[in-house]
Amino acid sequence: MRDGTESKHSIRMVADRLLVVESKEAGERKSRAGILIPATADVSRRLVWAEVAAVGPTVRTVEAGDTVLFSPDTGFEVEIQGDDYLILRERDVHAVASPRTEGGTGLYL
């Protein structure tokens, strides 16, 4: 970036880190009665879903493209090439969603 042009880099995660994109659910949501609950409301016990964009080399149970369940206060926010992501450790993931199979729930806890 010495000459003022923007340089784009590919991202490679290290160790047990996950790069995830938060679902829209993490922001404002509606109650069953239709009341809008702002993102700033106390949601300390609420877990959210995110799609995994990239994984580090030592991650064993999660793959890119998986949907994971985690606590939003465990990740670190980062902006990469104008898009917002979270960086998580594999141990911060509570569940991984998979396609529903015959007789299964589609969740691995």
Categorize the per-residue pLDDT at 24 as very low, low, confident or very high, splitting at 50, 70 and 90. low
By DSSP bridging, strand 36-37 and strand 48-55 are: unpaired
DSSP assignments along 17-36, one per residue: EEEEEE-GGGS-EE-TTS-E
Residue 90, SS3 per DSSP? helix
Residues 6+ apart with CB under 8 A from 106: 97, 98, 99, 100
CA 60, CA 70: separation in Å to the nearest integer?
A: 17
Which range is least confidently modeled, 18-27, 80-89, 99-108?
A: 99-108
Q: Record the tokens describing residue 65, joined without a space.
A: 């493209």
Domains, the chain: 17-102 (2.30.33.40)
Q: Compute φ and ψ for 100, nearest 5 degrees.
A: -65, 130
Q: What is the pLDDT of residues 67-101, one digit of tens each?
A: 999 988 888 999 888 888 999 999 999 999 876 56
pLDDT exceeding 90 applies to what percent of the chain? 36
